[in-house]
Amino acid sequence: MSELFALTEEHRAVREMVRQLAEEKIAPRAAEIDETGQFPWDVKDALASNGLLGLHIPTEYGGSGGDTLAFALMVEEIARVCASSSVIPLVQKLGSMPITMGASEEQKKAWFPSIASGEDLISYCISEADAGSDPASMRTTATRDGDGYVLNGTKAWISMAGASSLYAVLAKTEPDVGAKGVSAFLVRAADAGFSVGKSEDKLGIKGSPTCQVHFDDCRIPADRLIGDEGEGFTYAMQAFDHTRLVVGAQAVGIAQGAIDFAADYVVQREQFGRPVGSFQGVQFMLADMQTETDAARMLVYAAAAKADRGDADLTRWSAMSKLKAGDVAMSVTTDAVQLLGGYGYTKDYPVERMMRDAKITQIYEGTQQIQRVVIARQLLGKL
């Protein structure tokens, strides 16, 4: 249990390495990434060259073999300076999870090395315009046809669409049986019938593309089925258990970045002849901001440890960590804007960007309301 409260030497080394990379390579680009809304290929290359896009993939498939806690630390440190950039490894893991959960050994050996190297980015396609919080109601279909499957439908809110060359897609192979009729597939951007559609103009994480993707008689070979037919929804729910806590890590990073900037600002900024930080009201705000962020961080780290141990209560802990961290990130970044006053409301300072970025952590990979449903069902025996 001591690992929950004191990072190992290996974990500290990962954190320090990513922190240095983030401060040197990513932080100077953060404002520009937000302003232009362009995907930061240079950041992607920096993460790939340091083995971070394959941190979650076992070494036997070309990855770095890091555990869940190491992955959470990485995302937290990147998000501390640039939330848009932190989406890159987060989605790389999310898109990989169905392969991890259900793919054959042959499929893993064929697909994972290029994902681990960063040659291929992989997105995760589950949501649809009318199937967000209720993914079992998806309408995208995959029909068996000879030696392949033909996919038809549209997915919405797909993170990294357009930048990614691979897509883990959930589709109905049996449309009339709900969740039990959902299967998982690997689709390549080069497949005929696949296209990237509308790009959303978002409040935050502007450097991470979010688009619709279309499947118009998109034919793929049968060996792109991940696992067995009808098991896709199971893989999807298991994937969320492992990645919701990583969204929590992203939220903690955003919150800590806002605290770091605001604390430095109130020491430098003077009003009434003394530093703003010398006023008790300001000190109390910062004290609450840091306390809540550390509480959220401990939930995230505890959930990560549970993921690595395979604990039976991971579902609840992962949901709790995302719930707490997302709410904290929104509250803390809003307070950071307040501490900077009028300056906080301008793009000359990063806290307004952090406030906009924080909001998504309360929405994607299950809204905060869905997290409460998950937690309550776990507590009440899934009534």
Residue 365 is among the residues annotated as catalytic for this protein: yes
pLDDT at residue 3, as a whole number: 52
Give the model confidence (pLDDT) of 39-88 as tens digits.
Answer: 999 999 999 999 999 999 999 999 999 999 999 999 999 999 999 999 99
Mean pLDDT value across residues 31-39:
98
Is 90 exceeded by the pLDDT of residue 113? yes
Rounded Cα–Cα distance for residues 107 and 34 (Å): 37
Among candidate residues 128, 231, 292, 365, the one labeled active-site is 365
Is 80 exceeded by the pLDDT of residue 1? no
Rounded Cα–Cα distance for residues 310 and 103 (Å): 19
Q: Which two tokens stand for residue 303?
A: 């959930």
Question: In the chain, what percentage of residues exceed pLDDT 90?
Answer: 93
**pTM confidence score:** 0.96
Mean pLDDT value across residues 312-321:
97
Rg (CA), the chain: 21
Give the model confidence (pLDDT) of 198-213 as tens digits.
Answer: 899 999 999 999 999 9
pLDDT at residue 162, as a whole number: 98
Amino acid code (one letter) for 325: A
Rounded Cα–Cα distance for residues 369 and 125 (Å): 21
Mean pLDDT of all residues in the chain?
Answer: 96
Give the model confidence (pLDDT) of 86-101 as tens digits.
Answer: 999 999 999 999 999 9
Across 172-186, 317-331, 368-382, which has the greatest mean pLDDT? 317-331
Question: In the chain, what percentage of residues exceed pLDDT 70?
Answer: 98
Tokens 């955003």, residue? Answer: 254
Rounded Cα–Cα distance for residues 44 and 26 (Å): 10
Residue 126 is given by DSSP the state -
Cβ neighbours, 10 Å, residue 163 = 20
Nearest residue to 361 (alpha-carbon basis) of 318, 314, 315, 327: 327
Whether the CB-CB separation of 64 and 57 falls below 8 Å is answered with yes
Rounded Cα–Cα distance for residues 184 and 232 (Å): 5
